Each structure stands twice: as C-alpha cells, then as structure tokens.
Structure 1
Amino acid sequence: MKVRVLLASCLLSWPFAASSGSDGMLDDPFSTTRQVSQSPGKNHLALEDPCRLNKDTDHAWTMVDVIDQALCSNPQTRQAWANARFQAGQVGIAKSAYLPTVTLNTSVSRSMNSASSSLQITTISSGGGASSQPINRFTPVVSLNYLLYNFGGREAQLESAQKTLEASNWTHDATLQTVMFAAIQAYYQVFATQAAAEAALVSEKAGNEALNAAQKRYEVGAAALADALQAKTAFAQAKLNRQKTEGDARVAVGSLANALGLEADYRLNIAAPFLPKPDAEQDTLVHGLIEEAKLMRPDLAAAEATVKAAEANVKAAEAGHLPSISLIGNYGYNHTSLPSDTQSWTIGMQVSFPLFTGFNTTYQIRSAEEQLEVKRANYDQLEQSVSLDVWRAYQLLNTAHESFKSSEDLVASAFQSERVAMGRYKAGAGNIIDLLNAQSSHANARLQLIQAQYTWLTQKAQLAQALGRLDFSSIPTR
C-alpha cells in the first residue's frame, strides 16, 4: 500500500513539475526579477512605466510619445533588459546553493530466479511438477544533499552574481539614455531637415525672381545675355538644393522610425517641437559638472559593480582550495511481488577536501585575478573619459549658443543685403553678380540659423547624457 501511495503521489505531482519547472515550485521563488525593471523601457529605479504609447492615428506624437516608443520598442533596450533578467536568474542559481537538493531515483524491473541459470529463474513446486514465477521489483530511493559550509565560496558566488546583476541594471539604464538621446537627435533632425527644405524653397523662389528680372532686363536691352544665363544657372542650383534637402527630410523621417523600432516606411504624425531660445552655460560650473557626472553616470556605476563582482570571483576561486562540509542522507524502499519488502536509510556528514585537481584551482585563481585587473582598468579608462565627455559636450553646447547668436545677426544682415541688391538690379544700378552673391549669402545664413537652433537643442541633450541625467525633465517644454 505504501508503494502505491508513493507512486500515485509522484504521478500526480508530474503535471505541476512540468509546468512550473523541475523543482516543482514557482517560476521565481527567490523573487529575483523584482530587482529588475518591469519593462524594457523603464529605469530600474523609476516609478513610472513609459510603455503607454497613444496609437491613435489622429494623435500627433509629441517628443514624449516618441521617446516612450523608442524606450519600449528599440531592440537595444530589450536586449539590455533581457540581459538584466538573465543575471537575475544567475542570482537565483547562486541562492539555490543555500538550500538542500532532494533527488528521487526510481527503478522498475522484472526478473526470474533460478539456481542453475544466469537468468535467475526461481523454481516453485506445486502439485507434482515444477514452475517458475516472475519477480517484479519497484525500488524508489530519495537522496538528500545539503551543503553546510565551504569556507566562503558559496557567499562569494552569491556576491558576484548580485554585483553582476547590479552592473546589468546600470547598463540597462545607460542603454535607456543612449536610446533616448538617439530618439531626441532623430526627432530634431526631422524638423531641422524640414526647415532646411523650406529655406531651400525660399531660396529657389528668390532665384526665380532674380531670373525673371535678368530676363526682363535682357529683353529690353538693359542687360547682357550673360546676366540671364548666370541667373538661370543660379536658379537651377537653388532648385537642385531644394530637391536634395527634401530628400534629406524624407530620410530623416525614416531614420526616426528606425530609432523608434518601427519600419522605415511607417507613416509618422509628429508634433512640432518647442524651440526655446538658446541660453549660455556658466564656465565656472564645468568642474562641478564633471564631478557630478562621476556620481551620476550609469555606465560608470556599472563598471564599478563589475569590479566588485570580479573581486568576489577571486574569493570564490580561492575557496576552491578549501574543504566543504555537507549533510547527506537517503531513504530507499524495495518492493517485490514476493512478500519480502525491505527499507533502508542513511544519514551522515560528508567532508570533501580537494587534495589535487590537476592545478585547475590554481589557474582558476590566476584567471580571476587577471580578470579583476581588466575590470579595474576598464573602470579607470571610463572614469577618465567621463570628464572628456562632459567637457566636449559643454563646449559644443556653448559653441552652438554663440553660433545661434551670430546666425541671427547674419540672417538679418543678409536679408537686407539681398533686398538692396535686388532693388539696385531692377533699377539698373547693380549687376547680376552682386545680386546672386547676396541671395546665396542669405540662403546660407538661413540654413546656418536653422542648424544652430537644432544643434543647440541636440547638444543640450548630449550634455545631459554626458552627465548621466538625461530623462524626461531634460525635454524643453512651453
């Protein structure tokens, strides 16, 4: 009866074990996934989940919508998130070393016993003759192995797994900022190229006006044919520039869709950005910004956690030279079709001491120590690059601000020069070269102003990324 109950319980527990894992338990009994963000677009320290994009076709996507889409759908964020969840599983594996392992081994056999045969056939007399009876055996054995102590090796492995998970979380955060900056850059690039195309169209219209004026003067004999030909050439060049900028604008839309994890031909309905007037940064804040970046940069925090994980790996490798102490036990039940059931059990302590491992442990320690040096060097290199990243982004931002101020003055001056040159040419006091040069200067000035405006916005986001604080608060609002 005991055997039947044991066999029935094993069969009944099989579906649960198959659905929940070989341990017959919950998918995450140690709750390790709680140490990771709940979505690929969410910072592991953030409270809100950005994966809530409005898919209404009549809704124009704001920059916030664009960033949400990028954070939740870009393959880079999903890859970093999956890696963090993988490392959470490694933490669970390390924690499992603190629990015993219980194994059920079961054998079922059928045999015949005989004194004169290797087939072990049993001869049983009944009446006047002899007969053989088969013997059925069912032998379940439950074994227990519980590691009690291994001189810090188990603790070091858990610490290494936890620090690696911490590094993965920080890497995920750094990836979020990288993807966020790429989305912001692509978003601004769409409107920068569209504005450039509009400026090119204005230049084309101005070139057409100059061409008409030159042709009229040629028709009345007030100008040479060379004026009309030069004006025609300039108009053709302006038309070519307009076509190129329109193509760049279409490419920018496809690049934005790609940054959002969408197909390049996805029809985007994007709301225009808020364009604040550039302001200057204070030179006295540069050193403070560099020190802030060293505290805020998620990639630097990830590198630091990686160093700590490598230090724990050295401890775990050194524990390989030391013994381990385990509690072992087993219980077996031997049931046969003959009335001769038996039971057996064993419990005891086991000490395992590695006397010689073929120098495996020696090289494990050496490899772990060298890997630690690699991680330390990577951290030092990244720490040095942080100051350069902040310095470069800071200077480029100030340069963009100064360029915007100069471009505003240049546009105003070039506009006046073009109007004067056009008036003089129509009145017969100017020449076509002066007019075309004035138009070209005005066109270049408008383009420089557009580029300076969007370059400043992009550089402002890049400085925030260099500081490690690029988030939704970095987005300009009205």
Structure 2
Amino acid sequence: MLAWLAWGPVAALAHEPDVFATTTSVTGEAVYDVDHTSRPCHFGNLPEQLSLEETVSRILCHDPQVRIAWADAKARAATVGVSHAAYLPRLDGRLDWSRNINERKEESVSVNGRRQLAGANFTLSWVLFDFGRRGAALQNARQMLMAANATQDATLQNAFAVAAQAYNDALAAQRNLAASRQVAELAAQNLEAADAKYKAGAAALSDQLQAQTALSQARLREVRDIGNLRQLLGVIALRMGLSPETPLKLAGDLAPLPNPFFSKAVDKLLAEARREHPALLAAQARFKAAEASVEEARAAGRPSLSLTANLAHNRVGQSEIYNGDYRERDRSIGLQLDVPLFDGFSRSYQVRRALAQVESRRSELADTEQQVSLDVWNNYQRLSIETRSLAQTSELVEQSRQALDVVQGRYRAGVGSMIELLNALTAYASAEELHTQALGSWQSSRLRLAVGLGRLGFWAVDTR
C-alpha cells in the first residue's frame, strides 16, 4: 500500500494550535512499500541513471492532484477539531468605554453634565446535554476525514500508476530504438553483401537498389524512434518539475521474462479489493457520514441544557447633577434549557434531505463496489492474455532471428534471393516490435490490476 507524501515547502503546518491533535489523522510520511520504508520528498541532484523508484517518487512529489488531495484531508481533519470544540465551554469577554457630555437649559439657568462609563464583562456558556447532536456531528466529521484519507490514497495510487506508465513507455521507446538500430545495422550488412555481389557480377542491380531502399527505411524508423524517446523523456522531466530539455537516462529495461504476479484465484482478488480498495473505503465512509447527518438533523429539534455564567464590573464617573460617581458588580450562574417549539417545519425537511442523502450514498457505495469488481475482473483477464502473448512474441523473436541468420547465409552463399532476405529482415523487425508492444501491454495490465486491487506500490512494479 501507499502512504502519504511529506512535502518539503508545505510540510510546516500553520501556526494555529492543534489542541485535539487532528493532524495526526493525516499521515505525513512519503511513499512506502510493504516494508514501511519511507521515501520522503527531499532529493539531491539527478543520478546518472534514473531508476523506476527514483522517477516515480520525484513525479509524485510534484503532482498537483496529490497535493490537492492531501490539503483536502487536512481540511477534513480540521473539521474534526471543530466538532471536538463543541464539547468545550465558550468564554467571551467584552470591554466598554463611553463618554457623554450633556447640556440643558432651565429658564435662565444653564446646567452642564458629564458621564463616563468603563466596564468589563465575561460570559460563560457550556452545553451540557443536547440529545446526541454534537456526537452525531463528530461522527460525521470523522467519517468524512476517513473518506478524504481514502480518496487521497486513491489519488496517490492513480498518480503512481501514471508515473510508472510514463517510465515504462520510455523504456519501451528505448527498446524500440535499440531494435531499430539493430535492424539498420543488419540492413547495412545486406547492402554491403548485395553491393559486393553486384560488383562481382553475381547479382543484379535491382538487388543493390532493394537493399538500399531497405536501409533507408530502417534509418527512417530509427529517426522516428529517437524522436519518440526524446518526447517521452521530456514528459518525465516535466512531471518531475524539470525542464523538458533535461538529459535523462533510464536504468534497466523492460523485463523480457517477468515473473507472474497476482497468481491468486480471481475470487480471492475480488475479496481483497472489496476489503482494501480506497475508493470503496471512501464510499463506505461517506455512507456512514450521511447516516450521522440524519441523527444530527433529528437531534437539532430536541432540547438542550446549558450552563451559563456572567461576571460584570462597571465604573461610572459623572457630575454631581447625575448623583456622582459609582461602581457596580454583577455575578450570576444558572442553567438554561432551550426547547425548540416551532420553526416552520424547517427541521422536518432537513431530516428528509439527510435521509435522501443516505439513499444516494447507499447507491453510490453499491456502484463503487460494482465498478471495483468489474475493474479487477477485466484487468485480471487482460493480464492473463498479455502474459500468454508475451511468451508467444518471445518465441516469435527467436524464430524470426534464426530465420534471418539462415537467409543471410543463403544469400551470401549465392543460393538465396534479395526478396527472401528482405522478407526475413522485415519479419524480424516486426517480431521485435510486437514483443516490445507485448512487454509494454503486460506492464500496463499489471499496473491497472494493482490499481484495481487498491494495493499499488513499488512491489507491484519490481520485475526482479
């Protein structure tokens, strides 16, 4: 399985205190494998040859979608903190200051007065009992956090699959380029043999021209393969946050005879997917959150009991005309019972809306479960087909190479024709291309099955 990514520039959280330690609910480690070895997002200079793990880790650390999912999970964790805060008392303070000057005239007498008020007030409010409203809100927030974490896991696995696929595509292009260069070299050897036989009078000019045409075609294919490889390496560089012109070299090659993974029966794979797939876990959490919302909506229409307290101190400075200065203190404590009586049927419709949301989430859960099962089944069958195709194309390459060697020997011995030689060369080039395509398709099918199981990690892309 994959864990979360710890971002260098954004790993430092905001300075707001996390009293309820909600951020611990969002894992802050890097991608890890089944051995829980962490791979943080801190890299040095590019190595001379990029391994698959290095490439995938760098791409994941620069993927905006993964960053968005991680930020969403942190926001959901903060919502859990807000729900926890509802269980604590609320204390508010207020400071007042005012100055008033009054002038009035009574017949021929003018009277001036002043009044200055300074006061402080503290109010405490603490909900003691609310028939489960706060508990339902907290349950809702926790389930939505679980959904956000599962969604983050799914986003990370999808990004992992895209990164690994980009690496495998580049390896396939690298292999195609090597094959096209080999074919060009063989075509050059054929031209050399045809030219020698033509000069010796043992072959017609048409043999030399046909060999020259085959060499030109092989070189054209080589040019196109060079361009394709350069384009794919540029995509990898951009995904890693580098310039597309950055020179990259990939380590290794597509495994010619990879070991078969996922050899379990498909029923066991389906059971694992239903138990572990992050999309299904997210749908389950959203369904439970919707159920909690129903309870929260119902509890909103029930009474609540609160403890209230008040402490006030006021000082009034005023003229003798207003009876002079004085001070006053006020202290009170009591219980407050709030009983909702009538709200225009608003809460009834809030409950109806919450129940409809539960129905929607239940259908979403069923749809997700069906989609996960279909993905596992289809990808399992594709992998089985590609595994068998890989063995066939490997035999095809070996057979076409042997046939080409035999035909080359016959042509040099003067008993073979140029058409036979060119056909053999074309068959060998086609076999190499089919084998490379089979290798790429096999890797893609394995990645898609791992994603469908919800268990994609470096273990699933290691061909050793």
Q: 1:204 aligns with which of 177, 184, 188?
A: 184
Q: 1:76 aligns with which of 57, 65, 73?
A: 65
The answer as to 2:229 corresponding to 1:249 is: yes
How do 1:301-450 residues align onto structure 2 when only pairs under 5 Å count?
A: 301-338=281-318, 339-450=325-436
Corresponding position of 2:9: none
- Inter-CA distance 228–373: structure 2 relative to 1 (3 Å threshold): farther
- Inter-CA distance 28–42: structure 2 relative to 1 (3 Å threshold): farther
Could you say what secondary structure the match of 2:39 adopts?
coil
Q: 1:107 aligns with which of 96, 108, 117?
A: 96
Query: How far apart, CA to CA, are the structure 2 residues paired with 1:139 and 1:47?
Result: 60
More divergent stretch after superposition (386-395 vs 418-427) = 418-427
Could you say what secondary structure the match of 2:122 adopts?
strand
Aligned residues: 443
The answer as to 2:16 corresponding to 1:30 is: no
Could you say what secondary structure the match of 2:326 adopts?
coil
The answer as to 2:81 corresponding to 1:92 is: yes
How do 1:106-255 residues align onto structure 2 when only pairs under 5 Å count?
A: 106-114=95-103, 116=105, 132=112, 134-219=114-199, 222-255=202-235
Query: How far apart, CA to CA, are the structure 2 residues paired with 1:46 and 1:403?
Result: 32
- Inter-CA distance 44–90: structure 2 relative to 1 (3 Å threshold): farther
More divergent stretch after superposition (426-435 vs 53-62) = 53-62
Amino acid at match of 1:301: L
C-alpha contact 1:279 1:401 (8 A) present in aligned 2: no
How do 1:2-81 residues align onto structure 2 when only pairs under 5 Å count?
A: 27-39=17-29, 41-42=30-31, 48-58=37-47, 60-81=49-70
Query: How far apart, CA to CA, are the structure 2 residues paired with 1:368 and 1:264?
Result: 50
C-alpha contact 1:37 1:45 (8 A) present in aligned 2: no
Query: How far apart, CA to CA, are the structure 2 residues paired with 1:415 and 1:116?
Result: 120
C-alpha contact 1:404 1:452 (8 A) present in aligned 2: yes
* Shift, 1:193, TM fit: 0.8
- Inter-CA distance 159–69: structure 2 relative to 1 (3 Å threshold): same
Query: How far apart, CA to CA, are the structure 1 residues paired with 2:246 and 2:24?
Result: 35
**Structure 2: unaligned runs, 5 residues or longer:** 1-13, 319-324
* Shift, 1:216, TM fit: 4.3
Query: How far apart, CA to CA, are the structure 1 residues paired with 2:22 and 2:120?
Result: 34
Could you say what secondary structure the match of 1:356 adopts?
coil
Query: How far apart, CA to CA, are the structure 1 residues paired with 2:144 and 2:248?
Result: 39
More divergent stretch after superposition (224-233 vs 240-249) = 224-233
Query: How far apart, CA to CA, are the structure 1 residues paired with 2:398 and 2:341?
Result: 86
Deviation string, structure 1 residues 326-346 (Cα, Å, up to 9, x no partner): 222322221233431212233
What percentage of aligned pairs have identical amino acids? 35
- Inter-CA distance 218–160: structure 2 relative to 1 (3 Å threshold): same
More divergent stretch after superposition (237-246 vs 425-434) = 425-434
Query: How far apart, CA to CA, are the structure 1 residues paired with 2:294 and 2:301?
Result: 12
Could you say what secondary structure the match of 2:180 adopts?
helix
- Inter-CA distance 282–49: structure 2 relative to 1 (3 Å threshold): closer
Relative to the length of structure 1, the TM-score reads: 0.84
C-alpha contact 1:331 1:345 (8 A) present in aligned 2: yes
Query: How far apart, CA to CA, are the structure 2 residues paired with 1:353 and 1:206?
Result: 92
Deviation string, structure 1 residues 113-144 (Cα, Å, up to 9, x no partner): 44559xxxxxxxxxxx9874643322222122
Amino acid at match of 2:389: S
Query: How far apart, CA to CA, are the structure 2 residues paired with 1:398 and 1:318?
Result: 52
Deviation string, structure 1 residues 311-357 (Cα, Å, up to 9, x no partner): 11111112232222222232222123343121223333323333333
Query: How far apart, CA to CA, are the structure 2 residues paired with 1:380 and 1:76?
Result: 26
* Shift, 1:53, TM fit: 4.5
Deviation string, structure 1 residues 395-452 (Cα, Å, up to 9, x no partner): 2222222122112211111112222222333444333222211111101111222333
More divergent stretch after superposition (30-39 vs 450-459) = 450-459
Corresponding position of 1:7: none
Query: How far apart, CA to CA, are the structure 2 residues paired with 1:108 and 1:430?
Result: 111
| Superposition CA RMSD, Å | 2.9
Amino acid at match of 1:289: L
C-alpha contact 2:172 2:254 (8 A) present in aligned 1: no
Amino acid at match of 1:32: T
C-alpha contact 1:186 1:259 (8 A) present in aligned 2: no
Query: How far apart, CA to CA, are the structure 1 residues paired with 2:32 and 2:42?
Result: 17
Relative to the length of structure 2, the TM-score reads: 0.86
Query: How far apart, CA to CA, are the structure 1 residues paired with 2:394 and 2:216?
Result: 27
Deviation string, structure 1 residues 242-298 (Cα, Å, up to 9, x no partner): 111111111221222344454434444543258372344687711111111111212
* Shift, 1:98, TM fit: 0.7
- Inter-CA distance 86–391: structure 2 relative to 1 (3 Å threshold): same
- Inter-CA distance 325–134: structure 2 relative to 1 (3 Å threshold): same
Could you say what secondary structure the match of 1:332 adopts?
strand
Corresponding position of 2:321: none
C-alpha contact 1:281 1:398 (8 A) present in aligned 2: no
Query: How far apart, CA to CA, are the structure 2 residues paired with 1:296 and 1:442?
Result: 44
- Inter-CA distance 208–87: structure 2 relative to 1 (3 Å threshold): same
- The structure showing larger relative contact order (alpha-carbon pairs under 8 Å, at least 6 residues apart) is 2
Amino acid at match of 1:71: L
- Inter-CA distance 214–267: structure 2 relative to 1 (3 Å threshold): closer
Query: How far apart, CA to CA, are the structure 2 residues paired with 1:130 and 1:435?
Result: 127
Corresponding position of 1:288: 268
Amino acid at match of 2:358: L
Query: How far apart, CA to CA, are the structure 1 residues paired with 2:122 and 2:51?
Result: 62
Query: How far apart, CA to CA, are the structure 2 residues paired with 1:276 and 1:219?
Result: 42
C-alpha contact 1:326 1:349 (8 A) present in aligned 2: yes
Query: How far apart, CA to CA, are the structure 1 residues paired with 2:391 and 2:308?
Result: 79
Could you say what secondary structure the match of 2:368 adopts?
helix
Query: How far apart, CA to CA, are the structure 1 residues paired with 2:33 and 2:316?
Result: 58
Query: How far apart, CA to CA, are the structure 2 residues paired with 1:461 and 1:369?
Result: 39
More divergent stretch after superposition (417-426 vs 178-187) = 417-426
**Structure 1: unaligned runs, 5 residues or longer:** 1-19, 118-128
